[in-house]
Chains A and B, each alone.
Chain A
Amino acid sequence: MGDFTYTIWIFILPIAAFLITGLFGSKMPAKVSGWIGTASITVALMLALRTAYQYFIQVGFVEGHRPTVFAYKEVWMNFTETLTFDMGILIDPISVMMLVVVTFISFMVHVYSIGYMKGDKGYYRFFAFLSLFSVSMLGLVVATNIFQMYFFWELVGVSSYLLIGFYYDKPSAVAAAKKAFIVTRFADLGFLIGILLLSYHAGTFDFMTLVSEDGPLLAQSAPPVFMGLSIFGVALSLIFIGGAGKSAMFPLHIWLPDAMEGPTPVSALIHAATMVVAGVYLVARLFPAYHGVDGGVVLNLVAWTGAISSLFAAIIAMTQDDIKRVLAFSTMSQIGYMMLSLGVSGMEGHHGLGYMASMFHLFTHAMFKALLFLGAGSVIHAVHSNLMSDMGGLHKHMKITSWTFLIACLAISGIPIFSGFFSKDEILVAAFEHNKVLWAIEYIVAGITAFYMFRIYFGIFWGKRREYHHTPHESPMVMAIPLMILAALTMVVGWAIPFGNYVMPDRMAYHGHIEWSLAIPSVAIGALGIFVAYIFYFKETSLPEKVSSAFGQSYGWAKDKFYFDEIYQFFAHKMMFAGVAAPIAWFDRHVVDGFMNGVGWMTETFSYLLEGWQSGKVRQYGFSFVAGLLVILFAVLYLNGFIDFKG
C-alpha cells in the first residue's frame, strides 16, 4: 500500500515554525519570522502534494475501492481496558484532499501576508499564530478517531481566537474574538456530549469502526430514546451541533460576520477556506453513520440546516456595505450548499453524488473564496476602508486585483468553465433528485449569489468614480502573485479534475457528467443575477455622463432610466431590503444575537442577586451551613423513603 510515514513531517515542520517564531520571534528581524513560517508551509505543501500523488495515482484502487491507510496509529492512552485514545494519521480520499487544501491555502496566505502585514508591529506573532493554526487544522483533518478530532477542533478554536483578536488595540476585534470563541464553545458542548454518548454506547472512538458496516452503529438497531431517535441518532445530532457551530450554520452563525475584525489574510484562511468547513468535514467523516443510523433522519436535519442557512445568508449578503461582511455571509451561504449536498446524498454509485459534490464544492470554494478575500484585502490595503461606499472605479488603478476578483465572482456565480459551475451543478443535480423543494431554494440562492457578488464587484471596481486621498495603486507582487495563482486554478480545477474518480462515499470510481437540463437553467439564473447587478451598479454612477451624451436627446430613454431607477428603488430598497432582508437582518440582530446577549445578561443579573449571600457575617455562615445540611438531609431521607410526609 505504500509507505506514508513521511506525512508526519507535514505536522512537525509547522510546529517547529510555531515554536521558533513564537519563542524567538521578538529577537529576530521581523522578515525572518515570515520566511521561516512560509518555508515550513512550503515544504508541508510539497509533502501534501506528494501524498496526494502517491495515494490517488500510485496506490489508486485496491479491489475497486480506494483504501484507508493509517500512516500512524498509536495508542496514546488506555482509558479503560477496551477504550483507548489514539493519535495518528489517517489517509483516505477526503483527508488527503483536505491536506492539500489546507496546506495550499495556508501557503498562499503566508506568501500574501508577507506583503500585507509588512510593517505591522505584531509581524512575528502573526506568523507564529498562522503556523499554530495550520498545525491544528491539519491535525483535525487526519484524525483517526473522534477524540483526536475534538482535541484539534478545540485547538483550532484557540488559534482562531488568537488570530481574530490579533489587532488587540481595537476593542471591536477583541469583542469579536471572544464572541467567536464562546459561541463556538457553546456549540462544542453538543459535540462533547455527543462524543461521550458515542464512546460509551459504541465503545470506541475510532472512525473506521464507527462507520464500518458491521460496526456498533450500523449493525445493530438501537431502540428509540428521544423523539424517535436512537441513542446513536441523538449522539450524531449533538455532534452535528458542534459542526454547525464551527461552520457558522443558522442560528449559530452570529460569530462569523464579527470575526471579520481579524486581519484579512486570516479571514481568507480560517473564515473562508479551512476552519469554517470543519463542520462539513466532520459530517463527511462520519457520513456512513449519518446515512445509516435511524434511516438517515439526522441527515435530513443536516440538509435543511444547510438550505435555510444558505438562503438566509444570501439574503443578508445583499444588504451589507462592508465587503468583508458580504463575503462572510457569502461563505455561510456556500457552506450551506455543502451541508445540504451532504444531507441529500446516498451511499452507492450515483446516489453518492451529493457527498462527492459537497467535497468538490468545498475544494473549489476554498480556492475562489480565498481569492475573493485576498482580493478584498488587496483593495482594503489600497483604500484603507472596508466599506463599499468608499470605493468605486478601482479597475483602472488595480488591474490584477480587478481581473482576478472578476474570475472569482464568475466562479461563485456558477458560470461555465469556472470551477464553481461544476461543483454547484453537481449539488443542484443531487438536490433535484432528492427533494424538489431543497433544489428550488438552492436554485434561487444561486441567482441571489450572482447578484450580490457582482454588486460588490461593480461597486468596487466600476460604479461611481471616487476621489481618494492618494491614488490607489496595485498591491506589491508578493500579494498579487497569490491572486493570480488562485485565479488560474479557479479557471482550471473545475473541468480538469475528475473529482468523482477520487472522492465518493463508496470509494469507487464514478464518472460524472454535466446534467445540462439542470445546468442551463442554473447558468441562466446566475447570468440573470449578474445582469441585474450590472444594471443597478455598473451603470448607476459611472456611466451617467456617457449615457446622457449618447441617449440624452431621447426623452423616452431618460424616462426609461427614471423608470429603472424607480424599479431599483422599489425592488432593492422597498421590497428586498425593507420587505425581506431588513426583517431578517433585524431578526438576526435582535432575536438571535439578543438571545445570546440575554444569556450573558441573565447570568450577570443573577450573580448580583446572589451577592447578598456573601455578607461576611460568621453567624450567617454558620446558619447557612446548618440550613444547607438540613435541606440536603431531608431531601435525601425523603428520596430514600425514610421520611414520609403523609403519615
Chain B
Amino acid sequence: MNNYLLMRDEFVLLGIILLLLVAEIMLIGKNRKAVVGIATGLFIVHTLVGFLPLAEGTMFGGSFRTNHLLHNMKSIMNVGVVILLLQTWTWAREEWSHKGRVTEFYFLIFSTLLGMYYMISSGDFLMFFLGLELASLPVAGLVAYDLMKMRSAEAGVKFILMAGVSSAVSLFGISMIYGISGSLYFSEIAQNFHLSGLGALGLLFFMSGLAFKISLVPFHFWTPDVYEGAPVPVTSYLSVISKAAAVFALAIVLFLIGREFVSVWKPAIYWMAVLTMTVGNLFALRQKNMKRFLAFSSVAQAGFILLGILSYDQMGMTSVVYFSAIYIFSNLATFGVVQVISLKTGREQMDDYNGLYRTNPKLALVMLLGLFSLAGIPPVAGFFGKFFLFMAAAAHGYYWLVIIGVINVTISLYYYLLVVRAMFLRKSDTPIESFQAEIPVKIGLALAVVGILFLGLYSPFYDFILNLTTNI
C-alpha cells in the first residue's frame, strides 16, 4: 500500500496551483490583485506545513522516495521561494495594474517548483526526467514573461532551445544507462551499473543536463543572456532556487548510482569546478549591468559547490546543503535589492548605484551584507559556507582545487568590492532617489538578512544538516 502522506509536500503544492486557477476564474471582472496576496499567503502556509516532520519511505514501487534530507531540502527551497514572493510583491501588483495579468506568474513558478520536488525525490530516471522537464518548460514562459520586451522574448526562445538540447542529450544518456543496467530504478541501477565505456558515456550525457541547469562551464552560455532578458524576479528565481534544486539533484543521483563511476565523474566535476569558478569570475569582473554581474557571480558560486560534491561523503553532502542554504539567502538579498531598485527607477547599471548609501542607506546595507556573504567575509554566513566546502575538499586531498578556489574567492572579493565602492564611496550627480519599499518587500529583504547574519553563527543549523545527511 502506498502511504500517500509521503507526498504531502507535492500534494499541497499541487493543491495551491489548482486553487490559483480557481481563484483566477472566480475573480474575473474583479480586482485580481488579490491573487498576489492569496498566492503568497498560501505558499507561506505551505512552507509552514512543510516544517512539520514527515515519515521516510518510498512510493510507487520506489519511483518516489522521501527521507528527512530530501524533505528538508524542499523546505530550504520553500523558504527561499517565500522570500522571493515577498520581494516580488510590488512587482506582481504593478504587473496586474499595467498588463492585467498576474496569476500566470505564480502558476508557472509553482509548477517549476513542483518539478524540482519530483526531481529531488525521484527514485527512478522516469520520475527524474518528468521532474526535470516540469522544472524546465515553465521557465521558458517565465523568462518571456515581459511580452512587450524584445529581450525578454528573445531570452525565452534562447532558453527553450538550449533546454531542449540539454534535455535531449540527458535523455540519450539515460537511455544508455537503461540499456546497460536494464532498469530505470536507481536502487537497481546501483547494483548492475559497473564501470564501462558505454556506462561512462551515459552518465556524462545525463550529467550534462543538470550541469546545464546549474550553469556549469561549458554549459553556461545561456545564463547571462537569459538572466538579463528575464524580469528580475525570474532571474532571481533561476539563479537561486532553480540552481539549488539542480545541485541537490546532482548530488543525490551521484550518491545513488555513481559509486562505481567515481573515476569517470570526479575528473569531470573537478575540471568543471575549476572552469566554472574561474570563467564565472573573469566574466563577472567586467560586467556593468547588475543583473549580468550577479548572473556571472552566481555561475562562479556554483563552481564552489562542486567542491562539496567531489568529496562524496557525509561531510561533503552536509557542506553542499549548508552552502546552498546560505547561498539562497545571500543571493536573494542582492537580487532583492536589484529588483526593488529596478522596479522603482528602472536602473540596472552598476554606475547607477553610485551614492546609493546616501539616498537609501538601508538598501545599501542589505546589499553590502549579501555581497559580503557571497564573497565569504566573516562574520556573515557565506564565510562558513565556503570554509566548510574547502574543508570537505581538503579532507579528500583536493589541495590544488582548494588553492584555485581560494584564489578565486580573492578575485571575487575584488569585484564584489566594486559594487560596495559604488554604493558607499562614489558620488553621483543623479543618484537613485530615496524611496520606501512596501512592507512585504521589506519583510522579504529582512528575512534574507536574518539568514545571512544567523545561519553561519547559529551552529545548531549546521548540526541539524549534519544529522540529516547520515541517510541520503
Contacts and interface: CB of A to CB of B under 8 A. Distances in A.
Interface stretch (A286-294, A529-537, A572-580, A635-643): A635-643
B411 interface: yes
B422 to A, nearest CB: 11
Interface string A599-626: 0100110111011011010101110111
A435 interface: no
A5 interface: no
Contacts of B285: 603-604, 607
A189 B279 contact: no
25 contacts: A151-B379, A154-B378, A174-B421, A178-B417, A182-B410, A185-B413, A193-B402, A193-B406, A197-B399, A603-B411, A606-B282, A607-B285, A614-B221, A616-B225, A618-B161, A624-B221, A625-B162, A625-B169, A626-B169, A628-B217, A629-B169, A629-B204, A632-B271, A642-B196, A643-B197
Contacts of A624: 218, 221
Contact of B165 (A151, A603, A625, A639): A625
Interface of A: 76-80, 85, 151-152, 154-155, 158, 165, 168, 174, 178, 181-182, 185-186, 189, 192-193, 196-197, 199-200, 600, 603-604, 606-608, 610-611, 613-614, 616, 618, 620-622, 624-629, 631-633, 635-637, 639-640, 642-643
A85 B463 CA distance: 12
A197 B394 contact: yes
Interface stretch (B262-270, B324-332, B337-345): B262-270
A244 B385 CA distance: 26
A640 B383 CA distance: 36
Q: Which of A76, A189, A621, A627 has the most CB of B within 10 A?
A: A621
B259 interface: no
B219 interface: yes
Contact of B403 (A178, A193, A626, A632): A193
Contacts of A618: 157-158, 161-162
B413 A642 contact: no
B282 A642 contact: no
A182 B424 contact: no
B94 to A, nearest CB: 29
B184 interface: no
B354 interface: no
B158 to A, nearest CB: 5
Contacts of B407: 189
A80 B318 CA distance: 10
Contacts of A193: 394, 399, 402-403, 406
B466 A78 contact: yes
B6 to A, nearest CB: 30
Given A158-B378, A189-B406, A193-B406, A628 B218 contact: yes
Main secondary structure of the interface of A (DSSP, over half): helix
B434 interface: no
Contacts of A642: 196-197, 200
Nearest to B357: A168
Q: Which of A85, A196, A620, A640 has the most CB of B within 10 A?
A: A196
A633 B201 contact: yes
A125 to B, nearest CB: 11
Contact of A154 (B166, B267, B377, B411): B377
Nearest to A642: B197
A200 B394 contact: yes
B283 A607 contact: yes
B406 A192 contact: yes
B413 to A, nearest CB: 6
B264 A636 contact: yes
A607 B201 contact: no
A443 to B, nearest CB: 39
Contacts of A626: 165, 169
Interface string B217-235: 1110110110000000000
Given A189-B406, A628-B218, 20 more contacts: A77-B463, A154-B383, A168-B424, A178-B421, A182-B414, A185-B410, A196-B391, A604-B286, A606-B282, A607-B283, A608-B286, A611-B286, A614-B283, A618-B157, A618-B161, A627-B218, A629-B169, A636-B267, A640-B195, A640-B200
B208 interface: yes
B205 interface: yes
Interface string B16-36: 000000000000000000000
A166 to B, nearest CB: 11
Contacts of B417: 178, 181
Contacts of B315: 79-80
B439 interface: no
A427 B271 CA distance: 50
Interface string B393-425: 011000100110011011101100100010011
A636 B268 CA distance: 7
Contacts of A613: 221
A639 B390 contact: no
Contact of A158 (B200, B279, B377): B377
A497 to B, nearest CB: 35
B466 to A, nearest CB: 7
